[in-house]
Amino acid sequence: MRLGSMRSVLQHPFTFLALVAAVLSGASVGAAEIDAAAVRTAMSEEGRLPDDLARDSRSVPEAVIPLLHIELGATVVDIFGSGGYYSELLAGVVGEDGKVWLHNNDGFEAWGINGLRDRFDKRDPGNINRHTRSGINLDLGEESMDAAIIVMALHDIYVIPKRYNGEEYVPVGRPANATYFLEQIYTALKPGSRFVVVEHAGDAMMESEEVFDLHRMNESLARSEVEGVGFRFVESSDALRNPNDDRSAIVFDSDIKGQTDRFVLSFEKPAG
């Protein structure tokens, strides 16, 4: 247990006594799934990056991470985790016996390079393995993970590469193979494990290409694509919904950046 977590426990005598009673009775303290309270404890750790603290209120990780249904000691992959915001929180909740894989490709690593430098070069962010691979190759093996999460990055798999020719943006390539990408996640997860998707919501009345150009995704498409490789939809959360976002602007627009309407979906790889 990290020092900050132990201090938090000692400051709450009822929690401390409950832990002592569990140990004396022979119960496994680590058997309980990580809940919102555990995530808040990780969020209160001393030494977290200022940018992470500023992000907490808009990302509401205490509502997202519990959807992974993980326990102490779990191994979790943060897919296209960029600067590692979620990776560090996950490392805090899975404990010293757990492991977090911060997956990136070159693009996502470059996008989050400042956060990565602050997180890893100047301090110890916990038990995180940086795992950078090419393109959409995950290289995670078979049934190696207890959970997986992808935050506001699934849409990038579907974006058609374009270049401005002086008058308009024209396609210069094809989108990535989404089925191959999702199948890798399915293969990497153990049976019964969860996969959580957080994504910028798109306008269902728009054509899919228009939605992807805004770096958004329609919820119904996200669900059908993930279910299409074998996952079972389990639950969703409205914690990141914003009815004031009309979904018509690109997510980098200064008027909506950091405040987009987002959906949160939790899927399970069927056991057996």
Whether the per-residue pLDDT at 19 is higher than 80: the answer is no
Q: Specify which of 14-18, 75-79, 161-165 reaches the highest per-range mean pLDDT.
A: 75-79
Would you state the pLDDT for residue 31?
Answer: 57
Question: With bands split at pLDDT 50, 70 and 90, how would you rate the model's confidence at 125?
Answer: confident
Domains of the chain: 1-30 (no CATH), 32-268 (3.40.50.150)
**pLDDT average, residue stretch 193-214:** 97
The residue among 80, 177, 70, 204 whose CA lies nearest residue 130 is: 80
Question: With bands split at pLDDT 50, 70 and 90, how would you rate the model's confidence at 124?
Answer: confident
Whether the per-residue pLDDT at 205 is higher than 90: the answer is yes
Would you state the pLDDT for residue 10?
Answer: 43
pTM reported for the whole predicted model: 0.88
Whether the per-residue pLDDT at 23 is higher than 80: the answer is no
Question: With bands split at pLDDT 50, 70 and 90, how would you rate the model's confidence at 272?
Answer: confident
Would you state the pLDDT for residue 11?
Answer: 44
